[in-house]
Amino acid sequence: MAVVQTVFLQCPSVSISSFSSSPSTAINRVPVKFTVSCSSVSSPITVVNGNVDKSPSERNEVRLGLPSKGRMATDTLELLKDCQLSVRQVNPRQYVAEIPLFPNLEVWFQRPKDIVRKLVSGDLDLGIVGLDTVAEYGQGNEDLILVHDALEYGDCHLSLAIPKYGIFENINSLKELAQMPQWTPERPLRVATGFSYLAPKFMKDNGLKHVTFSTADGALEAAPAMGIADAIVDLVSSGTTLRENNLKEIEGGVIVESQAVLVASRKSMIQRKGVLDITHEMLERLEAHLRAAGQFTVTANMRGSSAEEVAERILSQTSLSGLQGPTVSPVFCKRNGKVTADYYAIVICAPKKELYKSVQQLRAIGGSGVLISPLTYIFDEETPRWRQLLSNLGL
């Protein structure tokens, strides 16, 4: 008979260092240092007769991971709300929520790096995180697939930065940094970073051989001034913090251009029921909303002899072409007992930066009663990213 045992793996990283025997004993004391590391909570593992069964856990719900705190979390919830995908969290202390539009979807609030790890392990099916997080913690895993690679918030880039002073004063490129004679096996370039996968990979790919790394999570900009590092690899948004700490980016030093992305488990998309359908609707809504961002509907009335004649006047103006051309419709009124169409209604789309110019051009060719309203969605005939996703999945 097979013996089945379910084991839940859950333990934090533990570091035990420098312990010895009691000083009252006669045994020589030998310092010992070791580290025990365990992954974060993942799916239960089933052990059958001592063998680990690696098949994914069975569940009916689709799981979406969202950042649990910070600016990324706020902006993600705002974007979903704008797409009519509001997240409802009954208890703010709980890590699970729902999107009422998708009854079969669970929303789990997690640290961004844990979202990526749980996508890989199969505990999540979809997630929204920064591309830098996907690259760092996904480490090129082929099961991770980008569904939408540009959600247009969380913009930053992962970059190498060095001091503006001392031996680096005249170093302005990665090539010049690599050619500095100071770096030897005995005295390597010391880099402080929280990106323990991307930073070493970048250095190796760019021919910097004599490099050591120290791991840190915050206040990296202070490391060179304190003398504990020669350079840092960190996320940069505006660059103000670097400049205020006398640091500079160099040519060729950008590792990843990042923003928020929608990422999924390839295995879940193919094997788990409901994931592909939910992904399709999310993608449609995100694409349509992002395309409509900054676009306005402009409506006006214009006197003319025919729809064609009015369209000719409109298309003679550079800012009135719209997405595919203007919509021109007759405006009917009753005059002397007869229905006539002396005016035509004009509808075009105009980007925000061209809005006032569009209004001026409409007025110049006889437009009146101009109405402006923001757009919520612009749906294409078919979302290009959906076609690409199906192709990547081999469907």
CA distance 273 to 287: 23
CA distance 146 to 393: 11
Let me know: does 161 contact 248? Beta carbons within 8 Å.
Answer: yes
Closest CA to 127 of 14, 260, 32: 260
Q: Identify the pLDDT of residue 318.
A: 81
pLDDT tens profile 33-46: 333 334 444 444 44
Q: Write the DSSP string, 112-137.
A: HHHHHHHHHHTS-SEEEEEHHHHHHH
Q: What is the mean pLDDT of the chain?
A: 86
Q: Which of 31-40, 71-80, 374-383 has the lowest mean pLDDT?
A: 31-40
Let me know: does 260 contact 332? Beta carbons within 8 Å.
Answer: no
Please name the residue that has the structure tokens 């994914």: 56
CA distance 190 to 210: 9
Q: Does the structure show a pLDDT above 70 at 20?
A: no
Let me know: does 224 contact 96? Beta carbons within 8 Å.
Answer: no
CA distance 132 to 235: 9
Tell me the mean pLDDT in the region 128-132: 98
In this structure, what DSSP letter does residue 260 have? E
Tell me the mean pLDDT in the region 335-343: 82
Q: Which of 24-28, 127-131, 375-379 has the lowest mean pLDDT?
A: 24-28
Share of the chain above pLDDT 90, in %: 66
Helix (H, G, I), strand (E, B) or coil at 16: strand
Q: Does the structure show a pLDDT above 80 at 194?
A: yes
CB burial readout 114-130, b (16+ within 10 A) else e: bbbbbbbbbbbbbbbbb
Q: Identify the pLDDT of residue 337.
A: 80
Q: Identify the pLDDT of residue 320.
A: 85
Tell me the mean pLDDT in the region 254-270: 97
Share of the chain above pLDDT 70, in %: 86
More confident residue, 337 or 194: 194
